[in-house]
A and B are shown apart, each in its own frame.
Chain A
Amino acid sequence: MNIKEYIASGVIESYVLGLASDQERTEFEQLAAQHHEIAEAKTRFELELEKQVFASAVHPPAGVKEKILETLGEITNTVNISKTVSIEPTVTSVGKQGWLRFAAAASLILFFVSGYFAYKFYNQNKELTTKNIELKKERDSVANIASEQQKLMNDPNVMVVNMVGTQKAPTSSANVYWDSTSRNVWLVVKNMPKLASDKQYQLWALIDGKPVDLGLFDPPYNKVMLKMNNTQKADAFAITIETRGNTGGPTLEELQSMGKPGLQ
């Protein structure tokens, strides 16, 4: 179908003026929904017609309004009218312009206010969803750690080394889980104070009196399990405080806690 020809066929005027048959109405509504040109042409004619009809308005005498209000009062007492009537701008006489502007301004304000709240609630919802996902992840990882920890503790090959605080840091404590077959080392920090940002903790294995680096770590959340470097052997484990990214040996003056395998 040629849209331009359809628009020019008089069908728009016929539809708007209420002269179209049911079949023509249905067809017109479908086509107007599909082609914005048709919908726009319809609105143009509506506005032309509106202007014409307003230009030849005949104001009813006072008293008609009161009579209608009276009738409506009887109706609204029984019928609950809750629908908001959206008022559209019209071609009206000058005296009505003030009200029109007021209504337009009021609806604009309402629009923006509701837009603001919609935006705010949308963001709040998004934030909560993200937080919820984070919490779930955390919960899952904690649950994961707990179950892994459980598995490790139940594994006969895994040795638990209880590290106790030194005199320097009597409250520091951690557990090392050492799998003697796979040589895997896990560290569970039970209590390690936070450090200055240029400092890190370091776990050492003492083998034949020599310290072997098992990895640097930041004071983590309590009970988080850290996978450290593997070691074949260890006479003892030790944790020291070192400069961030330490590549040298342990600063033994900063020994925080120590533990020996087999000594609980």
Chain B
Amino acid sequence: MLQQRSDTAFSYLYDNYSGALNGIINQIVPESETAHDVLQEVFVSIWRKIESYDPAKGRLFTWMLNIARNASIDKIRSRSYRNNLKNQTLADNVNDPLNLQVIKPVYDNIGLRKIVSQLKEEQRILIELSYFQGYTHEEIAKVMSIPLGTVKTRIRSALIQLRTML
């Protein structure tokens, strides 16, 4: 009975949110097979951590979206993922500041990426690195050789700009 009930609740969550979450996972993990693995991890994670969801801090979807984004970033940063990629990954380029200018996301014609691609190049790179690749402000400051305070300010203004395009 309990099993049945939780299956129903899971079905509800899955039917309503899997498309949106899969969409965001796909923006970070372009290979759909791997993305589906991440989606599975995300739902298991949501199911396990649902007790820790605090409505006072934000909407349920925001909470799930962040779980999906974090799981996706963990995936693209994992050794196995990097080794499996035949082509050079975007993440590897980050170590070479000169290559930052040529970072081109795989999916820039749909979803958040489509909007981000409309930003000024300087802003686009910051959002790419921080949101889609999960680099901390400190890491970005180091890689791009700009002060931490400037990274913060530029990311914030990029986000404000981004919001007007939603």
Contact = CB atoms under 8 A, between A and B. Distances in A.
A and B are interacting partners: yes
A134 to B, nearest CB: 43
Contact of B44 (A60, A72, A83): A72
A51 B114 CA distance: 15
B135 to A, nearest CB: 10
A234 to B, nearest CB: 77
Contacts of B59: 43, 46-47, 50, 88
Interface stretch (B76-84, B85-93, B94-102, B157-165): B157-165
B36 A60 contact: yes
B10 A58 contact: no
Contacts of A10: 155-157, 159-160
Contacts of B69: 18
A52 interface: yes
A80 B2 contact: yes
Interface string B11-54: 11111111110111010000000001001100110011011000
Contact of B12 (A68, A80, A87): A87
Chain B, interface size: which category? 35 or more
Interface string A25-50: 00001000100000000110111111
Given A65-B14, A68-B43, A56 B131 contact: no
A49 B22 contact: no
B145 interface: no
A58 B163 contact: no
Interface stretch (A95-103, A116-124, A146-154): A95-103
Contact of A54 (B20, B47, B66): B20
B144 interface: no
B10 A19 contact: no
Contacts, number: 152
Contacts of A49: 62, 65, 166
Given A53-B65, A57-B20, A81-B47, A29 B57 contact: yes
Nearest to B13: A85
A16 B62 contact: yes
Given A58-B26, A71-B44, A72-B47, A52 B58 contact: no
B17 A90 contact: yes
B12 A53 contact: no
A141 interface: no
B13 A8 contact: no
Contacts of A65: 11, 14, 18
Contact of B159 (A13, A47, A61): A13
A73 to B, nearest CB: 7
Contact of B58 (A46, A67, A100): A46
17 contacts: A10-B155, A13-B159, A13-B160, A16-B58, A49-B65, A52-B111, A52-B115, A52-B166, A58-B26, A61-B36, A72-B6, A77-B3, A85-B12, A85-B13, A88-B60, A88-B61, A93-B19
Given A43-B59, A53-B112, A60-B18, 7 more contacts: A10-B156, A46-B59, A54-B19, A59-B18, A75-B44, A81-B2, A99-B15
Report the 5 A-B pairs with minimum CB-CB distance, sorted nearest first: A10-B156, A57-B19, A56-B111, A13-B159, A59-B19
